[in-house]
Structure 1
Amino acid sequence: MLHHGRWAEPLIENDGSRVWVPPGCILYHHKTPHIHDCLWNRSLTIRGDDSAHQLFQALLTSLDVGAVDSNWNNIGENITVFTNGSRISFVWDEFLNSGPTLDMKRAGSVRDYLQSLAVERYDDHYEISMNSAGLVALERSHRPHLIRLTEHDTGRGDPPFTISMPLEVYPMMIEDWPSTWRHNNMSIEHKIMFTQAEVLFNLLCSNTVDRASNESGAYCCSPHVNSTWVQKSLIWAGTYMAVCLVLLPVSLWAKLCRSLSLTSLPTSAPSQIVGALATLWLAAIYCYVADRTMYFEKTPKVVNMGMFLSMLAIALVVGLATLQSAHSPKIEHRKHAVATTVPRLVLLSRPQTEEWKGWMQIVILLYHYFGMSKVLWVYQFVRLLVASYLFMTGYGHTMYFLTSNDFSLRRVVNVTLRTNMLNILLAFVMGTQYDLYYFPALSTLWFLIIWITIPRATSAGAQMSRVIMQIIASAAVVSVVITHGHTAQGWLAEIDSLGLHILKIETHEFLFRFRLDAYIVFAGILAALVCSKCRYDGTRLHDMTLAWSRSMATLVLLVSISIIALYVVFCWQFKDKYSYNRWHPFISPWPVMAYAILRNSTGRLRAYHSRLFAWFGRCSLETFVLQFHIWLAADSRGLLRLGLANVLLHTYRIKWSFLYDLVDFAIISALFLWVSNSTAGAVPTLTRIFIRDDLDEAVLGRDLEHESQATTLPKNSGKIGLRARVFISLIALWILNAAWYWLT
């Protein structure tokens, strides 16, 4: 960090926004309270000319904006500031001729040392010498605490010492960004000075980095945090099991399955179990190696609107190039026909919803990768995409319950296990919290709300008023919960204080995300009710033919287009994301439903879907969870890199580092998508094994929200019932969770 680094800048547009990238790590952004804690009982002196004076002001601004005095702009004056138990000084020394302000290379007797403490009472003294000619050095002088002075005088303690280190990155920042140097007054732009201050704080304040950031190993100079006993056990056990699963003969697996009474499974089940378990564990181990070790580099995100839009355009072109027809319908064109005949396709069919989820997932991945949350209109658009996911969750689960009348425990376990298996495993292996991967938790909670809301023993022909009343009651309960969110936080805090270690989540963050999309799911439920009512009125859902009059169809399309246009205009009125978030729960259902209508407005639109987007949709849950560790880094706060650019830049001085960043991006992305797709096939297999479903006949697919038939299984399929398996699994998870907290 002191000797190498480079500026990462947008590849397409050059708007002056650059981020300093040390080799292999990320600069940690220290907040003012952290800096105060770090510099307490420390002394810092900056010696030099105008550039040193600018660094001095940048340090004071980071400490406390109110401490910066306009009188300190006078050039040539020495300045000393005492703040929060620390001393920060500036010494004007244009040519760096004078010696250091504190000489601690050798302390004599205890008496001499005590006399020096009367003058300088700080444990550590740091001195930075720098001028416009590029001469930069950092010197640290350390003295032991008073309690150890006698030990030092008798030769048993550590003597005071002085370390001098060159800060080669300071002149390198200016050399690689020459436009920031002002030739008229021999000064540097403020953006450089604040980056230099950030480098200094990373060097001095590594002890203030929070544990979660230390565990990622992504931040410069942060102390290494060893893996916990639980993590090591899981990693070694997973590696051993994955190797054994691959090497174990399939015939032995067949005998094992018979001994476990898995006789209802087909003969190919053992090999599928082997492959699924090995795939899941290897994916978890790859996440650990990528995001918890130093084998991969981690770099900061760079806000890059040009690359974001370019990647979206490429994805759109490829997606349109992979269009295909679901049923190859024949569409009749009649000049004088009053009604238009459309193909017999279900509204929001599985290929269509997979496509919808797929292109949204591409946008969300690129949104996270390029740090576009700082751009308001992109943030608003992505918030709408998350709402669309939850709309499909409400629609799909409700349609399943209405058409199958399956409210069984098997269905609940099927959905919750399929949704949460990967993120629960990663929470233990990576040392994260369950709600870090917030969407599986959010989706699970909404599934349970829907499961409670929809009346039992219902059918598509059930009394509509009863269903609507229960939906209204459910929405009212949700409104009360989000209105009194502080009460729910208090209850969860009380439960956590009991030391039961049942579940630990960031309640404030989770309730915030729950509140943002509090009503879009109910819009999906109502949409499913409308479609089920059409079936009850005599038209089968999967063979439904819509024959709208031209006037009615035109009116509905115009209303949908108007809703989307009004939403866009309304979003432009907001100045920040916080004011938008207050309105989002109430306005998001309208453009989402308008898009669903437009997507199904013609027979041709219903008939065709993009294979590329549908492929992404089938593994959208896995890509969302795994992106935190094997596409992004530091639990999504940075980017994962192989380090090609840094090697070529620092070893061979090749300046075209962005080309190698693209190579890094391509390799990391290919591995990420391959692991996500493999995991998306492994998790449903393990879910079916757990609930003992026939692997060939189970209806469970990768898109849990759009099943249309219940899963069937002989009642006496195993010695241990499903309830017992669920109970044993929950107890095992609780023991593992408690062991995690007791042993860390």
Structure 2
Amino acid sequence: MPPGRLSFSLNPSWMHYVSRAALAVALIAGLLRYALLDYFDPLRCGALLSKGRFLDDKRQNWQPDGCMMHRYMEKDSSRCLSGRDVIFIGDSVTRKLFFQFAHVVDPALPTSPPADDQKHSDHTLVSDSGTRLTFYWDPFLNSSRVTEFVAVERGSGVADGRHPQPALLVLGSGLWYLRYSDSSGGLPAWESNTERLLGHISRAPELVADEIVMLPVEEVVSTKLTRERADTMRIADIDAMNSDLYHRINPPSSDTVRLFYSSHPPLPVSFPSAFNLMLDPSRTDDGLHFSDDVVNIQAHILLNSRCNDVLPKRFPFDKTCCRRYPWPSALYLVFLSVVFLLGPYKFASSWYRKGYAMSAVYETMDENKPLLVYSGILCLIFMADRTSFWLKEQKQFDAWMFGGFSFLSLVAGLSTLRKSDKDLGFLNREQTDEWKGWMQIAILIYHYLGASKVSVIYNPIRVLVASYLFMTGYGHTTFYVKKADFGFRRVAQVMVRLNLFTLLLAYTMNTDYLSYYFTPLVSMWFLIIYGTLAIGCHYNDRFPFLVTKIFASMGLVSLFMREHWLLQTFFYILQRTCAIRWSADEWAFRVNLDLWIVYFGMFTALATIKIREYRLTEHPHWHTAVKSAIVISGLVLVWYMLFEVSQPTKFVYNTWHPYISFLPIGAFVILRNASNVLRSASSRLFAFVGRCSLETFIIQFHLWLAADTKGILIVIPATRWRMTNLVITTIVFVYASHLVAEATGEITTWICGSDSKTLPLTARAPTTAQIPLAGGPSDETGKGADGADEPEAASQHVPSWADRLAEGSTGSSSSAFRLWSSSDRWDLGLKTKVLLGVGLMWLLNVLWPVS
């Protein structure tokens, strides 16, 4: 008997198990950190002041542990300080910090004393907003002026309100006690004076300033000090002084006392020990005073500590250090409650009607899966980006990491290649899904690493975004020209499918709808395409008339977008009538950047239809034309790569992009469809991502990225675990996007219904020939962005969003899914449902509190 052969097979549901396990790990890790590790530092103030590291080799991007720093500009600094006094008292290290702080508050202020002979002098600067910044030279912190500030007693100027309380008081000393130990008394004198100052602060009836900062004694670079300084400023003494300072400000028992007796707070003094963590020998010339860029980061830490929780708390929430998330308003809280509880309520009510039978749990969950997914994912996203449950950290671009991620993605995509037995045709479904998928992966890597500042990466990414719009123009035009279905149902299906989740997310996260720019962008272009083709649709079979309409649409849209006052007037009307507050400047930038590519897609669709109609693929010169097109396309791609690399900045490239983006897109389309082999092969991984590309683009804002795309999500604390976090959050993010894509399809079907005759899911047998490009007839079974072929039967897989848009389908729908308990009782028409939805949004907008 021959020996048995070992066999191994994976459970088909292994991806679901892995995704759920990753979600469980993220939830458990977040809960443990939130409940235990962050109990004494829930706002990450302590992390901001004491922990962190540089993310880059150039030591420019300082990352506090588990939170995001805000780079303060003049406007934010002025709003925080509100024209109040800021006082620095101390030595030359404190003086350098003072000038950098002042320069951040007002870039017009100097970064150093005006002359060398004024270094050991007092300095007063006034910002443009009226903030008075004062530095008092007192390297020993033992003058009467210091005592006047910190020894506040009842009846004194600050206590009784005769003198305004400073917004910030910064004290720095220590090195002069070491340098001149013979005359100053050295370490014992410093210790005694420090105890005296902190004693005055702790006994004061009220805070002498909104925030008091005691600077750590700066760690010097002994090898770069002069001989006199090196002999007296010893690292061991500096470490002992900082340790003494830390334990005086944060006594060992303070955490335990706070745990049981919250009425006994620790000493109200901030101690930014992180200042010494960012010092590097390469950043100092004399071993004592460090470069402006290092001290500038220290100034930003002071501003983040003082101002983050003071500034208005509205979108985007990109400063998470030392900052509370705002509590929702009453209406906002009601909305969140409805969104988060609707799914569980529907499940509970359905299970109740089945007698709470355990055998009916899975069946009930499946029936109510769309609402459960929406409630669960929206709650997860809110928890991720509107609470401190998980941490957020800053992005950091790394060229090697960008190249590595891109290469690994390419390898993974190529490893899942599959080839059909038949030629699937020009821009077939699998191909367009794959196209959307690999483009989306590239865009995700680009966003995660913050590569927008790198022009040679930004420029091609702009072409990828334009490619989505090209497919929008191609798909909708093909459908409307071939099907001539201009009914309201299809418009509703496309608009609901595109916007349902995005609108709910905008309300849930209290953000701006236009901030999720891709959804409103493709929605706007769909309506423009619909309007262009619907007007005089009875004459669409007349090619000159159709082309004239498209050119007229190009002219009108260009005029509207270039005449800025028209868009501003339109947005003003929306604000007055619907309480919608959108930025005309931002929207004009988004639209004008890709103003022509949709029309290129429309003309490509018309050309495709005409090639089929006139059977040009059977022409004897077709092969020659195809070969010429392939050569020209290759040259165009080479030219584009050389051109975009040669642009000095991305802003210069943006001026060219609207007029040249069609060249690389058209070249790619020709090369991708150049042969039967290329048309019949596609990557399953890329196609999977492509089928939920709309959801990944939207959900990434909060569940993979963080802080409204400004940072990244950290589910396991500690910056050194970034790669582990990337793996876990990527799995959770993609799984959530996949579930939302399925759920949105089913809910859209419930709202709009379906019509398989005019809105097919997929095609198994085409009725018209595709364009093979390589010549000769083909018997392909698939179709792509046009989606115009009639099906014999519906596929069971969920189509991609762009295919749904091109075909009007919303995916397979469970016949058991109902939003209401009784479908007969709530048998509302499509127009009634849409009208109710628009009316509800109008009411929410009008009643929603303005941030």
Provide TM-score, normalisation by structure 2: 0.72
Secondary structure class of the residue paired with 1:101: helix
**Corresponding residue of 2:562:** 483
Counterpart pick for 1:444 among 517, 520, 523? 523
**Aligned residue for 1:348?**
427
1:318 to 412, 431, 438: 412
Q: Secondary structure at the match of 1:81?
A: strand
Alignment of 1:683 onto 2:744: yes
Q: Which amino acid aligns with 1:281?
A: S
2:380 pairs, out of 286, 289, 294, with 286
Do structure 1's residue 34 and structure 2's residue 76 form an aligned pair? yes
Of the three residues 579, 600, 603, the one matched with 2:676 is: 603
CA distance in 2, matches of 1:121, 1:661: 45
Native 8 Å contact 1:24 1:643 kept in 2:
no
Change (3 A) 1:158 1:545: farther
Aligned to 1:363: 442
Q: Which moved more, 1:481-490 or 1:241-250?
A: 241-250
Residue identity in the other structure for 1:226: W
The 8 Å contact of residues 21 and 27 in structure 1, kept in 2 or not, is answered as yes
CA shift digits 1:587-618 (9 cap, x unpaired): 11111111111111122111111111111100
Counterpart among 301, 319, 328 of residue 421 in structure 2? 328
- 1:461/1:437 Cα in 2 relative to 1: closer, same or farther (>3 Å)? closer
2:732 match = 671
**1:235 aligned residue:** 336
Match of 1:129 in 2: 172
Name the CA distance, whole Å, in 2 between partners of 1:125 and 1:8. Answer: 26
Match of 1:429 in 2: 508
What is the aligned counterpart of 1:87 among 129, 132, 139? 132
Question: Quick check: 1:225 aligned with 2:326?
Answer: yes
Matching residue's letter, 1:703: S
Q: How far apart in 1 are the matches of 2:715 and 2:481? A: 50
- State the alpha-carbon separation in 2 of the partners of residues 86 and 486 from structure 1: 37
Distance 1:114 1:63 in 2: 24
Distance between the aligned counterparts of 2:462 and 2:116, measured in 1? 49
Q: Does 1:505 align with 2:551?
A: no
Q: CA 1:384 to 1:402, structure 2 compared with 1: closer, same or farther past 3 Å?
A: same
Output the TM-score relative to the length of structure 1.
0.82
Structure 1 residue 451, shift from structure 2 partner: 0.5
Query: Judging changes above 3 Å, is the alpha-carbon distance between structure 1 residues 643 and 22 closer, same or farther for their aligned structure 2 residues?
Result: farther
CA shift in 2, pair 1:682/1:159, >3 Å:
closer
- 2:582 and 2:649 map into 1 onto residues whose CA distance is 27
Whole-Å separation in 2 of the counterparts to 1:588 and 1:376: 15
Return the alpha-carbon distance in structure 2 between the equivalents of residues 171 and 64 of structure 1: 26
Change (3 A) 1:23 1:460: farther
Residue 19 of structure 2 corresponds to which residue in structure 1?
Answer: none
Indicate which of 49, 59, 84 corresponds to 2:101. Answer: 59
C-alpha separation between the residues in 2 aligned to 1:477 and 1:639? Answer: 41
Taking the aligned partners of 1:247 and 1:472, their CA distance within structure 2 comes to: 55
Equivalent pair of 1:124/1:141 in contact (CA under 8 Å): no
CA 1:80 to 1:140, structure 2 compared with 1: closer, same or farther past 3 Å?
Answer: farther
Aligned-residue offset at 1:206: 3.1
| SS of 2:146 mapped into structure 1 | coil
SS of the equivalent of 1:351 reads: helix
C-alpha distance in 1 between matches for 2:615 and 2:159: 98
| Shift in Å, 1:282 | 0.8
Name the structure 2 match of 1:741: 849
Q: Which position in structure 2 is the counterpart of 1:558?
A: 631
Partner residue, 2:157: 113
1:426 positional shift? 0.8
Q: Aligned in 2, Cα 1:391/1:694: closer, same or farther, shift over 3 Å?
A: closer
The reply to whether residue 384 of structure 1 matches residue 485 of structure 2 is no
Select 1:525's aligned residue among 599, 602, 607: 602
DSSP 3-state at the match of 2:837: helix
Distance 1:177 1:411 in 2: 62
The match for 2:723 is 662
* % identity of equivalent residues: 27
8 Å Cα contact 2:152/2:200 also seen in 1: no
Distance 2:101 2:461 in 1: 36
Give the secondary structure class of the aligned counterpart of 2:124: strand
Shift, 1:25, TM fit: 2.0
Q: Secondary structure at the match of 1:211?
A: coil
Q: 1:607-622 maps to which residues of 2 (within 5 A)? A: 607-622=680-695
1:296–1:640: 8 Å Cα contact kept in structure 2? yes
Rounded Cα–Cα distance in structure 2 between residues aligned with 1:349 and 1:370 = 32
Q: Tell me the residue number matched to 2:663.
A: 590
Residues 26 and 251 (structure 1), Cα distance of their counterparts in 2 relative to 1, 3 Å cut: closer
C-alpha distance in structure 1 between counterparts of 2:152 and 2:279, whole Å: 43
Deviations 1:549-589 (A, max 9, x none): 55433321121122222222222342222222222111111
- Contact 2:171–2:213 (CA under 8 A) maintained in structure 1: no
Deviation digits for residues 256-296 of structure 1 (CA, Å, limit 9, x no counterpart): xxxxxxxxxxxx99865511111011111111111111111
What is the CA-CA distance between 1:140 and the residue it aligns to? 11
Mean Cα deviation higher: 40-49 or 297-306: 40-49
Distance in 2 between residues matched to 1:142 and 1:37, nearest whole Å: 30
Residue deviations 1:159-203 (CA, integer Å, cap 9, x gap): 564675545675534435534442644221222111100011112
| 1:6 alignment partner AA | G
CA distance in 1, matches of 2:482, 2:381: 39
CA contact (8 A) 2:343 2:371 kept: yes
Unaligned 5+ runs, structure 1: 144-156, 255-267, 330-342, 646-656
Q: Deviations over 1:209-260 (max 9, x none)?
A: 34325x8485223354111223322332233322233344479599xxxxxx
CA drift at 1:53: 3.0
Letter paired with 1:721? G
Rounded to whole Å, the distance in 2 between the matches of 1:709 and 1:643 is 42
Q: Aligned partner of 2:556: which letter? A: V
1:287-319 Cα deviation digits (max 9, x unpaired): 111111111111111122221111111101111
Equivalent position of 2:613 in the other structure: 536
Q: CA deviation at 1:408?
A: 0.9
Is the 2:166–2:208 Cα contact (8 Å) retained in structure 1? Answer: no
Q: Does the Cα contact within 8 Å between 1:460 and 1:533 map onto a contact in 2?
A: no
Shift of 1:477: 0.5
1:726 paired residue number: 834
Q: State which drifts further: 204-213 or 703-712.
A: 703-712
What's the counterpart of residue 61 of structure 2? 19
Q: Tell me the SS of whatever aligns to 1:227.
A: coil
Structure 1 residues 64 and 124: alpha-carbon distance in aligned structure 2, compared to 1, 3 A threshold: closer
What CA deviation, in whole Å up to 9, does each residue of 1:86-144 have, x standing for no partner?
3323344455555653524555675x6399988x656445123156699999999999x
User: 1:702 pairs with 795, 799, 803, which one?
Assistant: 799
Amino acid at match of 2:504: L
| Partner SS, residue 495 of structure 2 | helix
Separation in structure 1 between the aligned mates of residue 466 and residue 175 of structure 2, nearest angstrom: 53
Query: Cα distance 1:321–1:43, how it changes in 2: closer, same or farther (>3 A)?
Result: same
- Contact 1:369–1:639 at 8 Å: present in 2 too? yes
2:474 corresponds to = 395
Q: Is the aligned partner of 1:635 residue 2:708?
A: yes
Task: Indicate the RMSD between aligned Cα atoms, in angstroms.
Answer: 3.7
Structure-1 separation of matches of 2:727 and 2:524: 35
Structure 2 unaligned segments of length 5 or more: list them: 1-44, 179-189, 217-270, 356-361, 762-797, 814-822
3-state DSSP of counterpart to 1:187: coil
1:632–1:366 Cα change, 3 Å: same
Distance in 2 (alpha carbons) for counterparts of 1:493 and 1:19: 39
1:644-696: CA deviation from partner (whole Å, max 9, x where unpaired): 21xxxxxxxxxxx52x1211121111111111111111101110111123799
- The within-5 A match list for 1:124-163 is 124=167, 126-130=169-173, 159=206, 161=208
**Equivalent-residue separation in structure 1 for 2:807 and 2:97 (angstroms):** 67
Asked if 2 retains the 8 angstrom alpha-carbon contact of 1:352 and 1:609, the reply is yes
For residues 479-525 of structure 1, the C-alpha deviation after alignment (integer angstroms, 9 at most, x for no partner) is: 101210233113322441x3x32533222211210111010000000
Mapped pair 1:78 → 2:121? yes
Question: What residue number does 1:648 align with?
Answer: none
Indicate conservation of the 8 Å contact 1:52/1:131, yes or no. no
